[in-house]
Each structure stands twice: as C-alpha cells, then as structure tokens.
A and B are shown apart, each in its own frame.
Chain A
C-alpha cells in the first residue's frame, strides 16, 4: 500500500515583508539593537582610551562612559553603580560569584545549594567546587520546572553559605520564585546568587525587593554585544565579599582584573537602558506573539505538548514537543527558520536535554522538542509563517513516523519491546 505523502514544507510561501532566514532563537543570542550599535561606535573608533588611564583625556572619557554604563545597568536591577562588576560575560560572572563566595566564606561553611536545570556555567562550576571539598545539593524541579520551596528550606543547614538558583531558564523559559527564595535565604542568613541572564530586562527583577545578594547578567541576551557581562554584588544588608578569580592590576575594586571592554560596556549600558524603558510594552507584545504561535500549532496538530509552566514563563519563550517526530529532522525541514531543539541529535554530546529530563519527560518527548525564542525584532507575519511551516513539516514527518502510525492504530508504545542498539 503506497502512502501518498503530503507535500513537503517547501510549499509554504513567505509573504511580503518576511525576510528569510527568520531568527527565532533569541535565548541563544540576540541581534544588536541598532541604538546599541550607534552608542558603541565612537568607542570603537575615535574614543579608544583605556578606562584605567588616569592621566589623560582618552582615559578620563572612557572612564566616564563606563561609569555611565554602570548606572544604566544598576538602574535596571535596582542596585547602585558601585555594586556592578564588569566581566567577559555571564559564564564568567557565574564562576566569579560561586567560586568567589565559596572561597571567601569557606570558614563559615562549605555547603552550596543549587538546582538541576541550571545553566552549565553554574552546574560545572559547582562540580569543580565539589572536587575541592564543597558539598553541593542539586534540588529537583517539579513537572512545571519550578523548585519546591519546602525542598529548599529542608536543604539549608548550618554549613550552607550559598544558594544559587537561576531567575529564568534558557531552555524552557520557566521563572523560579526568586522573591520567595531570596526571602528564605535572607531569613536563614545564607547568601543568594541568581543567574539572571534570561530574566533581566524581560520580567521584573529587583535585587532589593527580591533579596538578591549577587546576580549574573549578560549583554548579548538583551540586544547588546557578545563578550561582556556583569556581576551584581551587594554592598549593604549584608555587605557581600567575593574572592577575585582573576588577578593582575586590581581593576573593578580588586574583584576582576583586566582592561575594561569599553565599547562592550557602553553597549551593555545602552541595552539595559532600552530594556528598562521598553520592558513592559515589549513583554506584552512578545507574550501575545508567543501565544499566537502556540494557539496555531495546537489547533492544527495533535500530540503537541508545552514543556514547563506556561504561567511562570518568559514572555517570548515557547518550548514545545511534537511527539513522534524527532527534533533534528524537524529543524531540517524548517531550515529557513532558526530555532533549537532538545533532541540528542542536535547536541554535541548526543545526550538529550537534561533540562527536559529534569521535568520528568521521557527521552522520546525530549527528542521531539523545539525551543522558539521570540524577540524584539520578530513580527506577527514571521510567527504566522513559522507556524505554517512547522505544521507542514510535522505532518510530513508524521507520515514517515512508525511511532505515530502505531499510536494511531491504537498500539500502546510504552508496552513495546524495543530492540535498541
């Protein structure tokens, strides 16, 4: 019996105004906002001074620009300029915060608490500290992706010096209850660091209201340049100290040596200023677009599943599994749309997404997941095109899928004996 295949995805036409390829992977990185580029240009051309050059105007103007950027970043998160340390990016910020605090407070205790869906910059740093004698607790997450606050309370003991839990997850967009976590930590006298990379500038985040003692920020996730980030370190109530991880020259009050990336910093400042002004409106626009995408996909396809809580989620994130269709083959079919997948085939290590596994999803559901990351420059026309394309490709691949056929025939796949290789 010959199966007549539906037409391949190439049949979907791009309407006027939609330029291919479409970028919808804004959790991986974001394009530079033109206003950010404009702000950076003088610092890449005529104003090239080293901000640490104390004795001439090239240095002074660079230093002023850096200070202005510090203010812009501080303002976005409710901090003071002195509490902002510049780094090469959030990975470095995470390393500096966790290692710096562990080292500085090692007499007080050696226990650290984190959770299983953290970014590798946090998880791998914790693993390294375990080698040096720290005891790390990795809290599980519930099916919706959030931690259980009771688990946290139980995990804190006399040895705990630091809790590090991300504000928003990069894969599933899920928001952790930061304010409650901060309050618990504050009450128990434990420091609270958060990897706030995906949250800052997108959802409300305030270091005072949220009882945050340290926070990592990345420029290239908020329409700023790559290669620059920041670490917020609290100076009051309590004053937090961190042991520097990079030595030489004593920049950033001794906490992070190295010549400052002035153009990058200026860009980051501008990006934060824009985010501060436009966050609410943009959040609304993005969640509307995201919901539109979700509704279209759900109305046309069966066996689709959103991964993680829809209620506590970044406005632009949609992580969806198209069950019985493998993620990489789906990406191949929508090859003029840039998104990513939790499938093993798309990872360098051939392991499926550990974040999706932590939600309790079966590997087969992790393998069929796609992460859509909507951003500032995505339009409704693009969303409609992407939805149409995804629907076509999923239908095409389901015609090729023995699993989908079995399910439609009423076979319970979980009962099948697979001859895995």
Chain B
C-alpha cells in the first residue's frame, strides 16, 4: 500500500504538534482512542471566549501514518474557525483530502471524534450549551 503524497507530507512535516495548558479555561482537550487499538489522539484547542474562534490547536498522536496525518490536518482545518463551525468537519472530508484507502477510514473517524471531544471539553468547562435547534416557523 503506497501512501498518498499528502499523508507523507503531514507525516514528515506535521502541523501544530505540541500541547496547550490543560488547566486553562480557554483550552479544551480531547483524548480519544486506546493504546490497545494502536490509535491514540490528543487534540487541544484554545478558544477566544468572546468570539468563540479557535485561535490555537495542538495535537499528538500514537498511531499509523494515516492517523498522524488525519489529526495534523484536523488541527490545520479547525484553526481560525468558530467552535460551531469546526463541528461541521466530517471524517469523509478528511478521507477525501488525504486520499485514505478504505482500510484507513477509521483514522479519519478518530480525528473527527478528537475534534468533537476537544470542543465538548471546552464547552463543559465554560458552561456553553450546544446550539439550540432552530424553532419551526410559526
């Protein structure tokens, strides 16, 4: 199985590797996967409290090249987006961007889970509710 150029690029030059201060109120941390599965992703976001824009994102991943690329790409995509906007990222977008073969699709799912987990953690810490669904027109 040959890796796509984009996967190799993220692997050799991963974006936004590192960590943010877990204790800070502005930081949301998502830790997904499990060592036994061979995939663990930690994705962290720092959110501007007024604008709800994700100003910084960091990741670290234990996993195959596709998992590393998926999480690296995720941090690239969510930076500069609002928290609600970031939730619209689907794993299928990641699959398409990285040309992931079927056997690696689960890596993109984990990356999507990591985004949601980080946002969920930030929301919980800041008592921010999810968007209420639009009420029907009267």
Contacts and interface: CB of A to CB of B under 8 A. Distances in A.
A350 B36 CA distance: 12
Given A402-B31, A421-B113, A2 B60 contact: no
A419 B117 contact: yes
Given A332-B3, A418-B40, A420-B36, A10 B12 contact: yes
A364 B117 contact: no
Contacts of A345: 38, 63-64
Given A3-B17, A402-B41, A324 B62 contact: yes
Nearest to A403: B62
Contacts of A5: 14, 17
A302 B69 CA distance: 25
Interface in A292-309: none
B33 interface: yes
A130 interface: no
B85 to A, nearest CB: 23
Size class of the contact patch on chain B? 35 or more
Interface string A344-356: 1100001010000
A350 B41 CA distance: 18
Nearest to A419: B32
A326 B62 contact: yes
Nearest to B103: A350
B40 A403 contact: yes
A405 interface: yes
Contact of B38 (A343, A400, A401): A343
A364 B14 contact: no
A421 B106 contact: yes
A325 interface: yes
A402 B34 contact: no
Size class of the contact patch on chain A? 35 or more
B60 A401 contact: yes
B6 to A, nearest CB: 13
A367 interface: yes
Interface in A365-413: 367, 399-405, 413
Contact of A344 (B32, B38, B113): B38
Interface in B42-59: 42
B18 to A, nearest CB: 4
Most chain B CB within 10 A, of A352, A413, A419, is at A419
Nearest to B3: A332
A111 to B, nearest CB: 34
B61 interface: yes
Interface in A304-359: 324-329, 332-333, 343-345, 350, 352
Given A2-B18, A363-B38, A400 B68 contact: yes
A260 B56 CA distance: 68
Contacts of A364: 35-36, 38
Most chain A CB within 10 A, of B12, B18, B64, B103, is at B64
A418 B33 contact: yes
A1 interface: yes
A12 interface: no
A420 B64 contact: no
A352 B36 CA distance: 9
Contacts of A405: 19, 60
Nearest to A348: B103
Nearest to B107: A345
A421 B17 CA distance: 23
B38 A420 contact: no
A8 interface: yes
B117 A418 contact: no
B36 A421 contact: no
B35 A363 contact: yes
A403 B31 CA distance: 11
A362 B65 contact: no
Interface string B79-106: 0000000000000000000000001001
Contact of A400 (B14, B32, B33, B109): B14
A332 B65 contact: yes
Nearest to B14: A400
24 contacts: A324-B62, A326-B39, A329-B65, A332-B8, A333-B11, A343-B38, A344-B37, A344-B38, A352-B38, A363-B35, A364-B38, A400-B14, A400-B61, A401-B61, A401-B62, A402-B42, A402-B60, A402-B62, A403-B62, A418-B35, A419-B117, A420-B37, A421-B106, A421-B110
Given A2-B18, A329-B65, A419-B113, 5 more contacts: A5-B14, A8-B13, A332-B11, A350-B103, A362-B35
The 9 tightest CB contacts between A and B, nearest first, are: A364-B35, A418-B34, A363-B36, A420-B34, A328-B64, A402-B60, A367-B38, A402-B42, A3-B18
